Every structure is written in structure tokens, then in C-alpha cells.
Amino acid sequence: MPMSSRHPTVADLMALMEAWAPAWTAESWDRVGLVTGEPRATAANAWVALELDDGLLEAALAGGVDMLLLHHPPLFKPLTDLRSDRPATARLLKASAAGLAIFAAHTNLDAAPGGVSDALAARLGLTATTPLIPLASDGLAKLVTFVPPDHYEEVATALFAAGAGRIGGYRDCAFVASGTGTFLAPPGSNPYLGRAGQRERVSELRLETLIPLNQAGQALKALKAAHPYEEPAVDVYPLRQAPAGCGLGRVGGLNEPRPAQEFAAWAARELGARAPLLAGPLPQRLERVAVLGGSGGEFLGAAAKAGAQMLITGEARYHAAQEAADLGMALLVLGHFQTEAVVVQPWAQRLARELAQGGLDCRVEAFAGGGDPWRDPVQGMLIHHA
């Protein structure tokens, strides 16, 4: 018998994105999350795209789309007004008036396993990849509390619902050990176990789980609401570690060494780059390559330190080309759009698969329109998805 299904809400899709590319992993300057819309609204039809423009908005409204998931945040700098005669705010006003939810996953999707960096590495045939710039190691904490056995499920469920217990693709992760707790409740108190004014020894479970530091406050609130004790004991330890596989860019090897010039030309064709740029010396045989979608020229030093012979990115400043020569490594620039558009299709496929696995009925599509805002000066044409 087929699994019963329902249409997801905007919040359901947001939860899937948070599990995959947590907002706390975005760079501090970034603006990610829900931009317009109502989390409780139904999202039976969702589109994934690189960024919002007039063409995408009109197509989405005409197509009855409930939610847009974008890589580039359409609301980046603080607003000083909401004028309809300015294109950027006019699009948001129009989307909001139509009830269209817009969600952005930017540098958190760059860093996430299976996100932009991995999509680019896979497209270019890199193997055994690791993050080029590991995620900053101060975003996680371990939460420890002590619970009477008959309330473990209630407390653990509340913590997991508040964002605790996520390790990679696994959910509801915790370590539990039994032990003995002691306390002396003050006169006039109402302890869950034992009596006031008398020293007690009780059986307890030690519950340990991970929580993003920026969600620790809501987790503590959820814990206290579910915990039977008047004053539950809780410890929150900041951790010096990053989630597995999370970080900007990727560095990896090729299945077999290739002539560097041949590989660079192939990569440009594969991504549809119309104006590829190359700086620095090319090795005779290319074996190890670093990639970073979008603007990544500033990470040349990290790529060299990781043993890469070439860094492939979307755009770079003039001085990055000089630095490539100084470092003795190649810098291949293939376009901001071209190095990020590779994620749109796998992003849509992942969401569709996870929604279906959860019994949620939602049509998720990769938006086929749009293109690089830079035009070919000879043909005058927009450069579309590769």
C-alpha cells in the first residue's frame, strides 16, 4: 500500500534545508533563510534557481509556484525603504503580495556536503575531495543534562525538535548513560523526586547531544519546558570542531593525471564558460585540483597549501592573477554564474527525493530559465545554464 502523503508547508522545506545546510554555517556577513512568505503556508509546488530576476518571478507567478529556493539572497543589505519603483524591492513586494515564499541558502549551501562545492567538484570529475576551507570550528556545542528515566523520551524529543542531535545526515543523535544523582531540596520546594529538606539519591540518565551554539537558547527553553525538575542541571560546552565534510571549496584528485592545458579547455567547455581566463604556470601533468564556486580568487594560498596545482573559480581580482604566478600554480576563472549554476539541478533532485521519502507530496523543479547577466559582446546573447 502506498505511503499516505500530504503537501508540505514552507516550514517543512525550510527544515530540510536547515538539516542539510544549517543557517549557522553561513558566513557572518551573509543573509540566508526565509525572505518572504509564511512558514505555515502550503508549498505544493517549489522551484530551485540561482537568483531572483524579473523573468523568474513572472514565470513563478504564472506557474502557480508556492516557494522559490534561491542561492543568491535577494535581500542582502539592510533596507531603508520599500519603494515599488526600485526593481529589487519591487520584486519582493510583488512576491509578498502574491503569497510567494522566497528562501535563500548562500554560503551555507556553498559549504554543505552535497552543496555548491561538491556539485562543482563532481561536475569536473574530482575524486576523494575534502573541504578547501574547513568550517570555522566554533559553531557547535555539546549540551548535557540529567533526566529521570521515565521522562527521557519527552525531554529528548523536545531537544531534537529544537535543533539538537544532528550529525551529518543523521538525526536525533544522543549518548545516554545511567547513574545516580544526589540533591538536597530546600524547605518549601516541590521536588519531582524525594522530599524537601532531605538529602536524596535518585536514578538518572545522563543525556548528551550536539546543538548549534546559536540555537542553544531555544534548546534550553525547550528542555526546561519538558523537564520534570524544578531546576534541571544543564551544561553547555562550546566545541572546537566543525561538522564532517562542511567547508568552502573542495580539493581533490583526478582519476588519472591529465595534460593541464587539455583539462583547462575541457573544464571551460563543460561549464559553458564563454570568456575563460587563465593565470599562473600550468604543470605538465595535472593531478590535484581545487574548486570554489563564485568568487574564490582570495583562496589561492589555501589551495596551494592543500597541494593543488590549479584553482578553478568563478571570478578573481587582478592581483590574484599575480599571486598565482608568485605561488607557481594555475588559476582558472570560468565565471561566477557557471561555477554555481551546477548546483541547481542536484539541489532540486535532493529536495524532491527527501520530500518523497518523508511522505510529502511536492513538485520540485529546477528553473530552466535565467542566465549569466554578462553577455557575449560578439553575439549579444545571455549565457544560460550549462
Q: Residue by residue, what is the 3-state secondary structure of 225-247?
A: HHCCCCCCCEEEEECCCCCCCCE
Same domain, 151 and 208: yes
Q: Rounded to whole angstroms, how far apart are CA atoms 320 and 318?
A: 5
pLDDT at position 328 over 90: yes
What CATH number should be reported for the domain holding residue 154?
Answer: 3.30.70.120
Same domain, 17 and 156: no
Same domain, 262 and 320: yes
Q: Does 3 reside within a domain? A: no
Same domain, 299 and 379: no
C-beta of residue 117 within 8 angstroms of C-beta of residue 248: yes
What CATH number should be reported for the domain holding residue 92?
Answer: 3.40.1390.30
Report the pLDDT averaged over residues 26-32. 91
Same domain, 124 and 256: yes
Q: Does 229 reside within a domain? A: yes
Same domain, 25 and 150: no
pTM of the predicted structure, to 2 decimals: 0.81
Residue after which a domain boundary falls, among 203, 220, 238: 238
pLDDT at position 28 over 90: no
Extract long-range pairs of 376-379: CB within 8 Å, 24+ residues apart.
376/274, 376/275
Q: Residue 280's Cα: distance from chain center in Å?
A: 32
DSSP state of 1: -
Q: Does 2 reside within a domain? A: no
C-beta of residue 334 within 8 angstroms of C-beta of residue 273: yes
**Cell numbers describing residue 196:** 524537601
Q: What is the mean pLDDT of the chain?
A: 92
Which residues have a Cβ under 8 Å from the Cβ of 3 and sit 6 or more positions away?
Answer: 359
Sheet holding 140-147, edge to edge: 175-184, 199-212, 140-147, 234-238
Greatest Cα-to-Cα distance within the chain, rounded to the nearest angstrom: 88
First to last CA, the chain: 40
Residue after which a domain boundary falls, among 238, 269, 297: 238
List, for residues 256-265, the tens digit of each pLDDT value: 999 999 999 9
Report the pLDDT averaged over residues 185-204. 86
Going from the C-alpha of 355 to that of each of 14, 17, 46, 63, the distances in angstroms are 11, 11, 11, 20
List, for residues 88-127, the tens digit of each pLDDT value: 999 999 999 999 999 999 999 999 999 999 999 999 999 9
Position with higher pLDDT, 167 vs 127? 127
Same domain, 15 and 103: yes
Other CB atoms closer than 10 Å to residue 122's CB: what's the count? 17
Q: Does 260 reside within a domain? A: yes
C-beta of residue 139 within 8 angstroms of C-beta of residue 25: yes
Same domain, 14 and 99: yes
Residues found in the chain: 386
Q: Rounded to whole angstroms, how far apart are CA atoms 20 and 17?
A: 5
List, for residues 30-53, the tens digit of each pLDDT value: 999 999 999 999 999 999 999 999
Q: Residue 320's Cα: distance from chain center in Å?
A: 27
Q: Does 124 reside within a domain? A: yes
Same domain, 122 and 263: yes
Same domain, 194 and 129: no
Q: Does 68 reside within a domain? A: yes
Q: Band the pLDDT of 56: cuts 50, 70, 90.
A: very high
pLDDT at position 153 over 50: yes
Same domain, 356 and 296: no
DSSP per residue, 139-166: SEEEEEEEE-GGGHHHHHHHHHHTT-S-
Same domain, 171 and 311: no
Q: Are strands 45-49 and 363-366 parallel, antiparallel or unpaired?
A: parallel
**Cell numbers describing residue 204:** 538518572
Residue after which a domain boundary falls, among 238, 254, 279: 238
Report the pLDDT averaged over residues 329-342. 97
Q: Does 162 reside within a domain? A: yes
Q: From 108, 112, 139, 105, select the one nearest 26 (Cα to Cα).
A: 108
Q: Does 5 reside within a domain? A: no
List, for residues 224-277, the tens digit of each pLDDT value: 999 999 889 999 998 876 677 889 999 999 999 999 999 999 999 999 998 999
Which residue range(s) make up the domain with 180? Answer: 140-238
Domain count, the chain: 3
